[in-house]
Amino acid sequence: MTSTLVTGIGELVTNDATAGDGSALGIVRDAAFAVEGGRVAWVGPASDAPACDQVLDVEGRAVVPGFVDSHTHLVFAGERSAEFVARMAGEPYTGGGIATTVAATRAASDDELRLQASRRLAEMRASGTTTIEAKSGYGLSVADETRILRISREFTDETTFLGAHVVPAEYAHDRAAYVDLVCGPMLAECAPLARWVDVFCDRGAFDEEESRRVLQAGMDAGLMTRVHGNQLEPGPGVRIAVERGAASVDHCNHLSDADVDALAEGSTVATLLPGADFSTRAPYPDARRLIDAGVTVALATDCNPGSSYVTSMPLCLALAVREMHMTPAEALLAATLGGAQALRRDDIGTLQVGASADFAVLDAPSYVHLAYRPGAPIVATTWRAGARIAP
Protein backbone atom coordinates (compact mmCIF):
# COMPACT_ATOMS: atom_id res chain seq x y z
CA MET A 1 0.00 0.00 0.00
CA THR A 2 1.39 3.39 -1.02
CA SER A 3 1.88 5.87 1.80
CA THR A 4 1.89 9.66 1.40
CA LEU A 5 3.34 12.23 3.77
CA VAL A 6 1.54 15.58 3.77
CA THR A 7 4.14 17.93 5.17
CA GLY A 8 5.19 21.58 5.36
CA ILE A 9 1.88 22.36 7.12
CA GLY A 10 2.21 25.71 8.89
CA GLU A 11 -0.93 25.13 10.94
CA LEU A 12 -2.72 21.79 11.08
CA VAL A 13 -6.20 21.60 12.60
CA THR A 14 -6.80 18.02 13.75
CA ASN A 15 -10.00 18.47 15.84
CA ASP A 16 -8.30 16.11 18.30
CA ALA A 17 -8.36 17.88 21.67
CA THR A 18 -5.60 15.59 22.97
CA ALA A 19 -3.22 16.71 20.20
CA GLY A 20 -1.10 19.80 19.64
CA ASP A 21 -2.06 22.94 21.53
CA GLY A 22 -4.69 21.15 23.63
CA SER A 23 -7.55 23.32 22.32
CA ALA A 24 -10.69 21.74 20.85
CA LEU A 25 -9.16 22.24 17.40
CA GLY A 26 -6.00 20.33 18.41
CA ILE A 27 -3.71 22.62 16.42
CA VAL A 28 -0.25 21.30 15.54
CA ARG A 29 2.25 23.80 14.08
CA ASP A 30 4.93 22.91 11.53
CA ALA A 31 3.07 19.66 11.17
CA ALA A 32 2.81 16.63 8.92
CA PHE A 33 0.53 13.64 8.66
CA ALA A 34 0.86 10.32 6.88
CA VAL A 35 -1.91 8.79 4.76
CA GLU A 36 -2.19 5.09 4.04
CA GLY A 37 -5.15 3.31 2.46
CA GLY A 38 -7.11 6.58 2.45
CA ARG A 39 -6.80 7.00 6.22
CA VAL A 40 -4.64 9.08 8.52
CA ALA A 41 -1.86 6.79 9.72
CA TRP A 42 0.29 9.24 11.71
CA VAL A 43 0.07 12.91 12.83
CA GLY A 44 2.71 15.09 14.48
CA PRO A 45 5.49 17.63 14.09
CA ALA A 46 7.04 17.47 10.62
CA SER A 47 10.46 16.96 12.21
CA ASP A 48 9.30 13.59 13.62
CA ALA A 49 7.53 12.34 10.48
CA PRO A 50 8.01 8.76 9.30
CA ALA A 51 9.37 7.98 5.82
CA CYS A 52 6.61 7.56 3.21
CA ASP A 53 6.52 6.55 -0.46
CA GLN A 54 5.33 9.98 -1.63
CA VAL A 55 5.55 13.51 -0.26
CA LEU A 56 3.07 16.38 -0.64
CA ASP A 57 4.70 19.59 0.60
CA VAL A 58 2.09 22.34 1.17
CA GLU A 59 4.78 24.97 1.77
CA GLY A 60 3.56 26.52 5.00
CA ARG A 61 -0.15 26.57 4.24
CA ALA A 62 -2.83 25.74 6.81
CA VAL A 63 -4.66 22.40 6.54
CA VAL A 64 -8.10 21.74 8.04
CA PRO A 65 -10.39 18.69 8.08
CA GLY A 66 -12.70 18.68 5.05
CA PHE A 67 -16.05 20.35 5.64
CA VAL A 68 -18.98 18.08 6.43
CA ASP A 69 -22.04 19.71 4.87
CA SER A 70 -24.75 17.80 6.73
CA HIS A 71 -27.76 19.54 5.16
CA THR A 72 -28.20 19.99 1.41
CA HIS A 73 -31.01 19.64 -1.09
CA LEU A 74 -28.53 18.74 -3.85
CA VAL A 75 -30.84 17.37 -6.53
CA PHE A 76 -33.33 19.81 -8.05
CA ALA A 77 -34.00 21.65 -11.30
CA GLY A 78 -34.67 25.30 -12.04
CA GLU A 79 -33.92 28.41 -10.03
CA ARG A 80 -35.86 31.04 -8.09
CA SER A 81 -33.94 34.27 -8.47
CA ALA A 82 -37.18 36.23 -8.99
CA GLU A 83 -38.33 35.07 -5.55
CA PHE A 84 -35.02 36.27 -4.12
CA VAL A 85 -35.45 39.69 -5.72
CA ALA A 86 -38.96 39.96 -4.27
CA ARG A 87 -37.67 38.97 -0.84
CA MET A 88 -34.92 41.52 -0.89
CA ALA A 89 -37.66 44.07 -1.66
CA GLY A 90 -39.52 43.05 1.49
CA GLU A 91 -41.54 39.90 0.72
CA PRO A 92 -41.30 37.32 3.53
CA TYR A 93 -40.00 33.77 2.96
CA THR A 94 -42.79 31.23 3.44
CA GLY A 95 -41.61 28.08 1.67
CA GLY A 96 -44.41 28.64 -0.86
CA GLY A 97 -41.86 28.61 -3.69
CA ILE A 98 -41.08 24.93 -3.05
CA ALA A 99 -43.93 24.12 -5.47
CA THR A 100 -42.08 25.96 -8.27
CA THR A 101 -39.03 23.74 -7.77
CA VAL A 102 -41.16 20.61 -7.54
CA ALA A 103 -42.68 21.42 -10.95
CA ALA A 104 -39.26 22.08 -12.51
CA THR A 105 -37.76 18.95 -10.97
CA ARG A 106 -40.58 16.68 -12.10
CA ALA A 107 -40.19 18.05 -15.64
CA ALA A 108 -36.41 17.54 -15.79
CA SER A 109 -34.75 14.43 -17.21
CA ASP A 110 -32.48 12.25 -15.08
CA ASP A 111 -29.48 13.50 -17.01
CA GLU A 112 -30.45 17.13 -16.45
CA LEU A 113 -30.81 16.56 -12.68
CA ARG A 114 -27.50 14.68 -12.64
CA LEU A 115 -25.67 17.42 -14.53
CA GLN A 116 -26.97 20.19 -12.29
CA ALA A 117 -26.24 18.24 -9.10
CA SER A 118 -22.70 17.46 -10.26
CA ARG A 119 -22.04 21.15 -10.94
CA ARG A 120 -23.17 22.08 -7.45
CA LEU A 121 -21.09 19.30 -5.95
CA ALA A 122 -18.06 20.57 -7.89
CA GLU A 123 -18.57 24.02 -6.32
CA MET A 124 -18.84 22.44 -2.88
CA ARG A 125 -15.66 20.45 -3.35
CA ALA A 126 -13.77 23.47 -4.64
CA SER A 127 -14.67 25.25 -1.40
CA GLY A 128 -13.36 22.45 0.80
CA THR A 129 -16.34 20.17 1.34
CA THR A 130 -15.56 16.45 1.46
CA THR A 131 -18.86 14.95 2.69
CA ILE A 132 -22.41 16.02 1.93
CA GLU A 133 -25.83 14.90 2.99
CA ALA A 134 -28.47 15.16 0.21
CA LYS A 135 -32.24 15.23 0.67
CA SER A 136 -35.11 14.40 -1.63
CA GLY A 137 -38.18 16.61 -1.25
CA TYR A 138 -38.63 18.22 -4.66
CA GLY A 139 -40.41 15.21 -6.14
CA LEU A 140 -43.32 14.63 -3.73
CA SER A 141 -44.59 11.62 -5.72
CA VAL A 142 -43.42 8.03 -5.34
CA ALA A 143 -41.74 8.05 -8.75
CA ASP A 144 -40.03 11.43 -8.34
CA GLU A 145 -38.87 10.96 -4.75
CA THR A 146 -37.27 7.62 -5.64
CA ARG A 147 -35.72 9.17 -8.75
CA ILE A 148 -34.16 11.99 -6.71
CA LEU A 149 -32.80 9.57 -4.12
CA ARG A 150 -31.39 7.26 -6.77
CA ILE A 151 -29.56 10.18 -8.39
CA SER A 152 -28.47 11.54 -5.00
CA ARG A 153 -26.84 8.21 -4.25
CA GLU A 154 -24.58 8.68 -7.25
CA PHE A 155 -23.06 11.59 -5.30
CA THR A 156 -23.20 10.57 -1.63
CA ASP A 157 -24.07 7.73 0.75
CA GLU A 158 -25.73 10.21 3.13
CA THR A 159 -29.16 10.39 1.52
CA THR A 160 -32.30 11.58 3.26
CA PHE A 161 -35.95 10.90 2.42
CA LEU A 162 -37.84 14.20 2.70
CA GLY A 163 -41.18 13.26 1.15
CA ALA A 164 -42.61 15.35 4.02
CA HIS A 165 -41.21 18.62 2.68
CA VAL A 166 -44.61 20.19 1.94
CA VAL A 167 -48.00 18.85 0.84
CA PRO A 168 -48.03 19.00 -2.99
CA ALA A 169 -50.84 20.87 -4.77
CA GLU A 170 -52.62 17.71 -5.90
CA TYR A 171 -53.17 16.76 -2.23
CA ALA A 172 -54.03 20.27 -0.96
CA HIS A 173 -57.63 19.18 -0.39
CA ASP A 174 -56.59 16.06 1.56
CA ARG A 175 -53.43 16.45 3.64
CA ALA A 176 -54.09 13.24 5.54
CA ALA A 177 -53.99 11.26 2.30
CA TYR A 178 -50.58 12.75 1.49
CA VAL A 179 -49.20 11.87 4.93
CA ASP A 180 -50.55 8.35 4.41
CA LEU A 181 -48.73 8.19 1.07
CA VAL A 182 -45.47 9.44 2.59
CA CYS A 183 -45.66 6.98 5.49
CA GLY A 184 -46.84 4.11 3.29
CA PRO A 185 -45.96 3.42 -0.36
CA MET A 186 -43.54 6.35 -0.76
CA LEU A 187 -41.51 5.37 2.30
CA ALA A 188 -41.53 1.72 1.24
CA GLU A 189 -39.93 2.63 -2.11
CA CYS A 190 -37.58 5.29 -0.70
CA ALA A 191 -36.29 3.64 2.48
CA PRO A 192 -33.90 1.28 0.63
CA LEU A 193 -32.37 4.34 -1.06
CA ALA A 194 -31.94 6.44 2.10
CA ARG A 195 -30.11 6.44 5.41
CA TRP A 196 -32.25 9.18 6.97
CA VAL A 197 -35.83 10.40 7.19
CA ASP A 198 -36.52 14.14 7.60
CA VAL A 199 -39.68 16.24 8.01
CA PHE A 200 -40.23 19.99 7.61
CA CYS A 201 -42.05 20.65 10.88
CA ASP A 202 -43.00 24.32 10.62
CA ARG A 203 -45.68 26.80 9.63
CA GLY A 204 -47.05 25.96 6.18
CA ALA A 205 -45.47 22.50 6.17
CA PHE A 206 -46.28 19.72 8.69
CA ASP A 207 -47.68 20.01 12.21
CA GLU A 208 -46.62 18.14 15.33
CA GLU A 209 -48.86 15.13 14.88
CA GLU A 210 -48.04 14.73 11.19
CA SER A 211 -44.33 15.13 11.89
CA ARG A 212 -44.41 12.50 14.62
CA ARG A 213 -46.12 10.07 12.25
CA VAL A 214 -43.52 10.60 9.53
CA LEU A 215 -40.59 10.15 11.91
CA GLN A 216 -42.10 7.04 13.50
CA ALA A 217 -42.82 5.48 10.11
CA GLY A 218 -39.26 6.24 8.99
CA MET A 219 -37.82 4.67 12.13
CA ASP A 220 -40.02 1.60 11.66
CA ALA A 221 -38.57 1.33 8.15
CA GLY A 222 -35.05 1.36 9.61
CA LEU A 223 -34.13 4.99 8.88
CA MET A 224 -32.45 7.35 11.32
CA THR A 225 -34.13 10.69 11.96
CA ARG A 226 -33.42 14.37 11.39
CA VAL A 227 -35.83 17.31 11.45
CA HIS A 228 -36.25 20.75 9.83
CA GLY A 229 -37.54 22.70 12.82
CA ASN A 230 -38.17 26.13 14.31
CA GLN A 231 -37.14 27.99 11.16
CA LEU A 232 -40.18 30.22 10.59
CA GLU A 233 -41.66 30.40 14.09
CA PRO A 234 -41.42 28.82 17.55
CA GLY A 235 -42.88 25.32 17.42
CA PRO A 236 -42.60 21.65 18.27
CA GLY A 237 -39.75 20.72 15.88
CA VAL A 238 -36.90 20.80 18.38
CA ARG A 239 -38.93 19.09 21.09
CA ILE A 240 -39.99 16.26 18.79
CA ALA A 241 -36.46 15.84 17.42
CA VAL A 242 -34.94 15.50 20.89
CA GLU A 243 -37.71 13.15 22.06
CA ARG A 244 -37.16 10.92 19.03
CA GLY A 245 -33.39 10.97 19.54
CA ALA A 246 -32.92 12.56 16.11
CA ALA A 247 -29.31 13.02 15.05
CA SER A 248 -29.98 16.66 14.24
CA VAL A 249 -32.57 19.41 14.22
CA ASP A 250 -31.86 22.01 11.59
CA HIS A 251 -32.49 25.78 11.36
CA CYS A 252 -33.30 26.51 15.07
CA ASN A 253 -34.03 30.21 14.55
CA HIS A 254 -36.85 30.42 17.12
CA LEU A 255 -36.01 28.56 20.33
CA SER A 256 -37.64 28.66 23.76
CA ASP A 257 -35.66 28.14 26.95
CA ALA A 258 -37.20 24.66 27.11
CA ASP A 259 -35.91 23.90 23.60
CA VAL A 260 -32.38 24.93 24.56
CA ASP A 261 -32.54 22.90 27.78
CA ALA A 262 -33.81 19.84 25.89
CA LEU A 263 -31.01 20.12 23.33
CA ALA A 264 -28.43 20.51 26.11
CA GLU A 265 -29.67 17.37 27.86
CA GLY A 266 -30.24 15.26 24.74
CA SER A 267 -27.93 13.98 22.01
CA THR A 268 -29.48 15.90 19.11
CA VAL A 269 -27.15 18.29 17.29
CA ALA A 270 -28.46 21.80 16.51
CA THR A 271 -27.55 22.45 12.88
CA LEU A 272 -27.49 26.14 12.00
CA LEU A 273 -27.89 27.28 8.39
CA PRO A 274 -26.68 30.87 8.12
CA GLY A 275 -26.88 30.82 4.31
CA ALA A 276 -30.66 30.45 4.65
CA ASP A 277 -30.90 33.30 7.15
CA PHE A 278 -28.75 35.49 4.90
CA SER A 279 -30.78 34.67 1.78
CA THR A 280 -34.20 35.01 3.43
CA ARG A 281 -33.18 37.97 5.58
CA ALA A 282 -34.29 36.06 8.66
CA PRO A 283 -33.06 36.64 12.20
CA TYR A 284 -29.97 34.46 12.76
CA PRO A 285 -30.26 31.77 15.43
CA ASP A 286 -28.73 32.51 18.81
CA ALA A 287 -25.64 30.33 18.48
CA ARG A 288 -24.04 31.75 21.64
CA ARG A 289 -27.00 30.72 23.75
CA LEU A 290 -26.77 27.18 22.36
CA ILE A 291 -23.02 26.83 22.72
CA ASP A 292 -22.97 28.37 26.18
CA ALA A 293 -25.70 25.89 27.24
CA GLY A 294 -23.46 23.01 26.08
CA VAL A 295 -25.39 22.10 22.90
CA THR A 296 -23.40 20.53 20.05
CA VAL A 297 -23.71 22.88 17.07
CA ALA A 298 -23.14 22.12 13.37
CA LEU A 299 -23.03 24.48 10.40
CA ALA A 300 -24.30 23.51 6.94
CA THR A 301 -25.21 25.24 3.69
CA ASP A 302 -28.84 24.06 3.24
CA CYS A 303 -28.05 24.36 -0.49
CA ASN A 304 -31.42 24.71 -2.26
CA PRO A 305 -32.86 27.09 -4.88
CA GLY A 306 -35.29 28.83 -2.53
CA SER A 307 -33.98 29.72 0.90
CA SER A 308 -30.22 29.26 0.41
CA TYR A 309 -28.60 28.84 -3.00
CA VAL A 310 -25.25 28.53 -1.22
CA THR A 311 -22.59 25.88 -1.84
CA SER A 312 -19.76 27.45 0.15
CA MET A 313 -19.04 26.29 3.69
CA PRO A 314 -16.43 29.08 4.09
CA LEU A 315 -19.24 31.61 3.49
CA CYS A 316 -21.30 29.88 6.20
CA LEU A 317 -18.34 30.06 8.58
CA ALA A 318 -17.88 33.76 7.90
CA LEU A 319 -21.59 34.43 8.51
CA ALA A 320 -21.56 32.36 11.69
CA VAL A 321 -18.67 34.40 13.04
CA ARG A 322 -19.89 37.82 11.93
CA GLU A 323 -23.63 37.42 12.44
CA MET A 324 -24.00 34.64 15.03
CA HIS A 325 -21.10 35.59 17.29
CA MET A 326 -19.37 32.23 17.06
CA THR A 327 -15.59 32.38 17.41
CA PRO A 328 -13.66 31.32 14.28
CA ALA A 329 -12.62 28.18 16.19
CA GLU A 330 -16.22 27.32 17.13
CA ALA A 331 -17.35 27.89 13.55
CA LEU A 332 -14.65 25.64 12.08
CA LEU A 333 -15.40 22.92 14.62
CA ALA A 334 -19.13 23.15 13.82
CA ALA A 335 -18.46 22.94 10.06
CA THR A 336 -16.34 19.80 10.41
CA LEU A 337 -16.72 17.73 13.60
CA GLY A 338 -20.20 19.18 14.24
CA GLY A 339 -21.37 18.08 10.79
CA ALA A 340 -19.90 14.63 11.37
CA GLN A 341 -21.81 14.36 14.67
CA ALA A 342 -24.99 15.53 12.91
CA LEU A 343 -24.51 12.54 10.58
CA ARG A 344 -23.52 10.22 13.46
CA ARG A 345 -20.16 9.57 11.82
CA ASP A 346 -16.93 9.08 13.76
CA ASP A 347 -14.68 8.45 10.73
CA ILE A 348 -14.87 11.99 9.34
CA GLY A 349 -14.60 15.55 10.68
CA THR A 350 -11.18 15.06 12.28
CA LEU A 351 -7.61 14.38 11.17
CA GLN A 352 -6.68 12.00 13.93
CA VAL A 353 -5.15 8.59 13.34
CA GLY A 354 -7.72 6.26 11.79
CA ALA A 355 -9.92 8.99 10.32
CA SER A 356 -10.60 9.25 6.60
CA ALA A 357 -7.91 11.51 5.10
CA ASP A 358 -10.41 14.22 4.12
CA PHE A 359 -8.85 17.67 4.17
CA ALA A 360 -8.62 21.12 2.65
CA VAL A 361 -5.34 22.95 2.02
CA LEU A 362 -5.83 26.69 2.51
CA ASP A 363 -4.03 29.46 0.66
CA ALA A 364 -3.53 31.07 4.06
CA PRO A 365 -1.34 30.67 7.12
CA SER A 366 -4.29 30.03 9.46
CA TYR A 367 -7.84 28.65 9.47
CA VAL A 368 -8.95 32.04 10.84
CA HIS A 369 -8.67 33.40 7.29
CA LEU A 370 -11.79 31.36 6.39
CA ALA A 371 -13.84 33.93 8.30
CA TYR A 372 -11.41 36.85 8.09
CA ARG A 373 -11.28 36.92 4.27
CA PRO A 374 -14.89 36.28 3.23
CA GLY A 375 -15.35 35.76 -0.48
CA ALA A 376 -11.68 35.02 -1.20
CA PRO A 377 -11.01 31.68 -2.97
CA ILE A 378 -9.08 30.52 0.06
CA VAL A 379 -9.29 26.75 -0.45
CA ALA A 380 -6.33 25.73 -2.63
CA THR A 381 -7.04 22.01 -2.93
CA THR A 382 -9.51 19.51 -1.44
CA TRP A 383 -8.72 15.84 -0.70
CA ARG A 384 -10.97 12.93 0.16
CA ALA A 385 -9.64 9.59 1.44
CA GLY A 386 -6.21 10.85 0.44
CA ALA A 387 -7.17 11.57 -3.18
CA ARG A 388 -7.45 15.06 -4.66
CA ILE A 389 -11.07 15.93 -5.54
CA ALA A 390 -10.68 19.66 -6.32
CA PRO A 391 -9.73 21.61 -8.26
The contact set with Fe ion (CB under 5 A) reads 302
The whole-angstrom distance between residue 291's C-alpha and the CA centroid of its chain comes to 18
SS3 233: coil
- Tell me the closest approach of the beta carbon of residue 77 to ligand NIG, in angstroms: 12
Residue 307's binding partner out of Fe ion, ligand NIG, none, with CB under 5 to 8 Å set by partner kind: ligand NIG
> Which of ligand NIG, Fe ion, none interacts with 98 (beta carbon under 5 to 8 A by kind)?
ligand NIG
Residue 284 contact among ligand NIG, Fe ion, none, beta carbon within 5 to 8 Å by kind:
none
> Which CB atom, from 236 or from 305, has the smaller least distance to ligand NIG?
305
129-135 and 27-36 as β-strands: parallel, antiparallel, unpaired? unpaired
Residue with CB nearest Fe ion?
Answer: 302
Closer of 250 and 330 to ligand NIG (Cβ): 250
Taking the chain, what is the end-to-end CA distance rounded to the nearest angstrom?
Answer: 25
Q: What is the CA radius of gyration of the chain?
A: 21
> Least distance in Å: CB of 188 to ligand NIG?
24
Rank residues 238 and 361 by Cβ distance to ligand NIG and give the closer one. 238
Half-sphere CA count of 331, side-chain side, radius 13 A: 25
Chain centre to alpha carbon of residue 43 = 27
Q: Are 234 and 206 in contact (CB under 8 A)?
A: no
Nearest to 133 by CA among 66, 53, 196: 196
Q: What does DSSP say about strands 3-13 and 27-36: parallel, antiparallel, or unpaired?
A: antiparallel
Q: Alpha helix (H) ranges present in the chain?
A: 81-88, 98-107, 110-126, 142-152, 175-181, 187-190, 208-220, 237-243, 257-265, 274-280, 287-292, 313-324, 328-333, 339-342, 369-372
Q: Which does 350 bind (CB under 5 to 8 A by kind): ligand NIG, Fe ion, none?
A: none
Provide the minimum distance between the beta carbon of 291 and Fe ion in the complex, in angstroms, as a whole number: 22
- Which residue is closest to ligand NIG by CB? 306
Nearest distance from C-beta of residue 278 to ligand NIG, angstroms: 12
What's the closest the beta carbon of residue 282 comes to ligand NIG, in angstroms?
A: 10
Closest CB to ligand NIG among residues 97, 128: 97
Q: Which residues pair with residue 67 across a beta bridge? A: 129
Binding site for ligand NIG (CB under 6 A): 95, 97-98, 101, 200, 228, 231, 276, 302, 304-308
Cα–chain-centroid distance for residue 325? 20
Q: Which is nearer to ligand NIG, 60 or 96 (CB)?
A: 96
Residue with Cβ nearer ligand NIG (200 or 383): 200
Q: Which does 35 bind (CB under 5 to 8 A by kind): Fe ion, ligand NIG, none?
A: none
16 vs 83, which CB is nearer to ligand NIG?
Answer: 83
Integer Cα distance of 257 and 239 in angstroms = 11
Min dist. Cβ of residue 6 to Fe ion (A): 34
Closest distance to ligand NIG from the beta carbon of 111 (Å): 22
